[in-house]
Amino acid sequence: MAAQPFIFDLGRRLPTTRTLALRIKTDGAEAAIDDAQRKADAASYQEITCRSALNAVKGMPFNWTLNPYRGCTHGCHYCFARRYQTQFELGPGDHFSSFILVKVNLVEVLRRELDRPTWTREQVAVGTATDPYQPIEGQYKLTRRALEALLHARTPVGLVTKGPMIVRDADLLAELGKGPGCTVYVSVPTVDDAAWRALEPGTAHPLQRLRAVRTLRDAGVTVGVLMAPVVPGFTTQPARLEATIRAIADHGAAFMGANIMYLKGGTRDHFMGFLAAEFPHLVEGYERLYVGAYAKPGYVTGVRGMITVLQDRYELQRRHRPAPGEHSPETDPEPEEPEQAGLDFQSGGSGTSR
Give me the CATH number covering residue 31: 3.20.20.70
In a domain, 8, yes or no: no
Q: How many domains does the structure of the chain reveal?
A: 1
Euclidean distance between CA atoms 230 and 260, whole angstroms? 5
In a domain, 178, yes or no: yes
Residue 227's pLDDT is 96
CA distance from start to end of the chain: 78
**Is 17 a residue whose pLDDT tops 90?**
no
Q: Say if CB 352 and CB 320 are below 8 A apart.
A: yes
Euclidean distance between CA atoms 179 and 197, whole angstroms? 39
Residue 40's pLDDT is 38
Beta pairing partners, 182? 157
Give which of 106, 130, 186, 168 is closest to 349, Cα–Cα: 186
Euclidean distance between CA atoms 111 and 96, whole angstroms? 28
Structural domain containing residue 175: 17-347
In a domain, 11, yes or no: no
Centroid of chain to Cα 61: 16
In a domain, 3, yes or no: no
Dump pLDDT digits (tens) for 283-306: 999 999 999 999 999 999 999 999
Residue 94's pLDDT is 61
In a domain, 241, yes or no: yes
Dump pLDDT digits (tens) for 227-253: 999 999 999 999 999 999 999 999 999
Query: Greater confidence, 231 or 1?
Result: 231
In a domain, 4, yes or no: no
Angle at the Cα of 13 from the Cα atoms of 104 and 129, rounded to 5 degrees: 35
Euclidean distance between CA atoms 266 and 80, whole angstroms? 8
Alpha-helix residue ranges (DSSP H) falling in 163-264:
170-178, 193-199, 206-218, 238-250
- In this prediction, residue 61 has a pLDDT band, given cuts at 50, 70 and 90, of confident
Query: Greater confidence, 101 or 214?
Result: 214
In a domain, 352, yes or no: no
